[in-house]
Amino acid sequence: MKVSLFIPCYMDQMYPNVAMATLTLLEKLGCEVDYPLDQTCCGQPMANTGCTSESKATAAHYIDVFKDAEYIVCPSGSCVSMVRNHYEGIAPDTELASKVRKNTYELCEFLVDVLKVDKLEVSFPHKVGLHQSCHGLRELDLGSCSERMTEKFSKAEQLLEMVDGLELVELQRPDECCGFGGTFAVAEKEVSCLMGEDKLTDHEDAGAEVMTGYDSSCLMHLSGLSSRQKRPLKFYHIAEILSGSAK
């Protein structure tokens, strides 16, 4: 299966190890991975700040870069949600734009729904807390939300349960926001930090040694708070655990 890899701009600059882990994982699972060198940003930072007109050129560029891709895989729920759910009204309303939006997948979603992975030959003998980011849960349906009376599921949990030795801890508030929210963390830093501290405490109280998730932006916010407060938690993107690069 041929896959085009989309790596968000902040990940390219700050978390290239997550990008490499994603590549390693997809290749282990038999995918032929292409990385278009002309890719840039999905436009989410501008759109989140209210500068939607300024994000139009970025959205149009994304569509042009990935116009020939059958599957576009990205290890960031928020960026995928930007493309799939928020390009409408920003990007050109064309058949091509619709195709690219539809063909853009978050990593866990792609592994579960497209590749239908049922086995992973990887070990990670640690107690792990899963942070399920808001965009992934509420805009991509990567898992069930506590505010909805639906059957409980989580695509990320489904994958983590395949990892030998990994023990998922049970959180009191498993789908609560971490407080990052992009520019929200800048405009409302005090509220953002308090929300992040609550999230860290929930994971520690559950006995987690490691926190993981499918958005490096949320993990960046939480790991920054944790390190400044000298908390013992470690942080890995889910791609690092599933690929075997997390130690």
Q: In which band, very low, low, confident or very high, does the pLDDT at 196 lie, cut at 50, 70 and 90?
A: very high
Query: Residues 87, 135: one domain?
Result: no
Separation of alpha carbons 73 and 71, rounded Å: 6
Query: Residues 131, 174: one domain?
Result: yes
Q: In which band, very low, low, confident or very high, does the pLDDT at 92 lie, cut at 50, 70 and 90?
A: confident
What are 105-120's pLDDT values in tens digits? 999 999 999 999 999 9
Which CATH number belongs to the domain containing residue 208 in this structure? 3.40.50
What are 50-86's pLDDT values in tens digits? 888 889 999 999 999 999 999 999 999 999 999 999 9
Structure tokens at 137: 């849960």
Q: Is 66 inside a domain boundary?
A: yes
Quick check: 219 and 235 in contact, CB under 8 A?
yes
Quick check: 82 and 44 in contact, CB under 8 A?
yes
Q: Tell me the whole-structure pTM to 2 decimals.
A: 0.95
The pLDDT of residue 120 is 97
Indicate the number of domains in the chain: 2
Quick check: 187 pLDDT over 90? no
**Sequence-ordered list of residues with C-beta below 8 angstroms from that of 144, at least 6 positions apart, any chain:** 137, 150, 151, 152, 153, 154
- The per-residue pLDDT of the chain, averaged, comes to 95
Burial of 230 (C-beta count, 10 Å sphere; 0-12/13-18/19+):
exposed
Q: Is 122 inside a domain boundary?
A: no
Domain boundary among 114, 140, 167: 114
Query: Residues 138, 238: one domain?
Result: yes
Q: Is 119 inside a domain boundary?
A: no
